[in-house]
Structure 1
């Protein structure tokens, strides 16, 4: 069994996540049908930690041993990068979301204290909380484990294409609640938007070797539109009476299309190995393992 898991690490992670991880994410929905109320954000966070981060760490250890775990740790903690990368990670999607909101609605009538709160509490604080509690650990699994392995075998753009529907399906518990047909349509739309988003995360990782920056980009995007927990994001504070929906996903998708076009689909990918070397487990950016 252990040898089979080593040969198919991505499949092993997906089996664990889409059983244990998704069960945790759906528990609030199940409880709701029984007249009970559970915290959706709490169980989604548990799903990310237990369903994604835990198997990513265990499988890295099984496939690469302590060397692999140290390499993964280093990629999580890599932070000494050009400040422009941080500017890109935390500014591009929030700024694009604000511009789109201004195009869809009148300028916000909020007072200066509210605008300050939207920036500091809505964007900065929610980005930090999202990074620490969830988004960094999501990207450890999706970018640092799944996508990097797929990239070595199939190339960066195909890896983004293959990861996108899995990443979208992760959010099934959040979009469920309406009719079955509506849920399927929402998941299809989310998959289409996830393709360029996964392209950006792949490009950012390939260029910086930093999962921290990838998680920061993810968290800053979510902070644009998050509501209620761990607090309202930037646009809900600026426009308390408006609902712009997944505006951050649209902006991320536009950024992804630009990245794909600008890099001609290479997404900053370095030379790929071939033959037996391609089957070696990932311990560094652009190196992937297993047969998945």
Structure 2
């Protein structure tokens, strides 16, 4: 009967949709892959597999700081010895991999993978980088004496440097789709390019 068919159709529209196996499920739209948003609408990237970030991002993460350092040396008038380049690159790569596996990956699992990401979901990238930079700078203050003179000046420069580092690492975290490994590699390269305290005595 027409009335019966109409009532069945109405009940089917009111009833919740049934589970469907993956083979029969409708295709997901592009919006299903959009970044997650926090309480205040700040986007947060979905994590990707550690190596699946694209060759362009790996090239940017790995090569940017070494190329800038090479350009600075060339502008300063120094000329690299080509015969030493292969052994130098091999030694630098070994040091970088060792630092990432032993130190920086664990560091960034806490800093970028947990603290800064949670703050960014609530407050956005600039505020999250600033809030993360304060404890980050305090922990690195003995390791980053970027200025001679009073302690307050060294602390201020270290905080500004930490803010720049956390902003750069936050941009890398977003651009790579939350690859903590890529952020750890960039962190290790920043460490290698940072001036150290000259030996005393």
Fold conserved (TM > 0.5)?
A: yes
Partner of 2:168: 200
Contact 2:126 2:167 in 1 (8 A): yes
Shift of 1:132: 0.6
Gaps of 5+ in 1: 1-73, 226-244, 247-292
Partner of 2:27: none
Partner of 1:170: 139
Residue correspondence of structure 1 range 194-273 to structure 2 within 5 A: 194-207=162-175, 208-224=177-193, 245=195
Partner of 1:113: 83
Partner of 1:228: none
Q: CA–CA distance in 2 between the matches of 1:182 and 1:129?
A: 34
Residue correspondence of structure 1 range 103-142 to structure 2 within 5 A: 103=75, 105-108=76-79, 111-122=81-92, 124-142=93-111
Structure number with bigger Rg: 2
Contact 2:96 2:189 in 1 (8 A): yes
Aligned residues: 149
Residues 1:223 and 1:118: Cα distance change in structure 2 (over 3 Å):
farther
Contact 1:164 1:191 in 2 (8 A): yes
Residues 1:175 and 1:156: Cα distance change in structure 2 (over 3 Å):
closer
Point out the structure with the larger helix share: 1
Whether 1:161 and 2:130 are equivalent positions in the alignment is yes
Whether 1:151 and 2:116 are equivalent positions in the alignment is no
Whether 1:188 and 2:151 are equivalent positions in the alignment is no
Whether 1:99 and 2:71 are equivalent positions in the alignment is yes
Contact 2:141 2:158 in 1 (8 A): no
Q: CA–CA distance in 2 between the matches of 1:224 and 1:173?
A: 16
Contact 1:77 1:212 in 2 (8 A): no
Shift of 1:76: 8.9
Q: CA–CA distance in 2 between the matches of 1:217 and 1:175?
A: 17
Shift of 1:156: 1.1
Structure with greater contact order relative to length (CA < 8 Å, sep ≥ 6): 2
Q: CA–CA distance in 1 between the matches of 2:144 and 2:183?
A: 24
| RMSD of Structure 2 on Structure 1 (CA) | 2.6
Please list the CA deviations of residues 54-95 of structure 1 after superposition, one character each: whole Å capped at 9, or x if unmatched: xxxxxxxxxxxxxxxxxxxx9596211211111111111121
Please list the CA deviations of residues 133-181 of structure 1 after superposition, one character each: whole Å capped at 9, or x if unmatched: 11111111111111011111211111011111221111123247x99x6
Contact 1:136 1:215 in 2 (8 A): yes
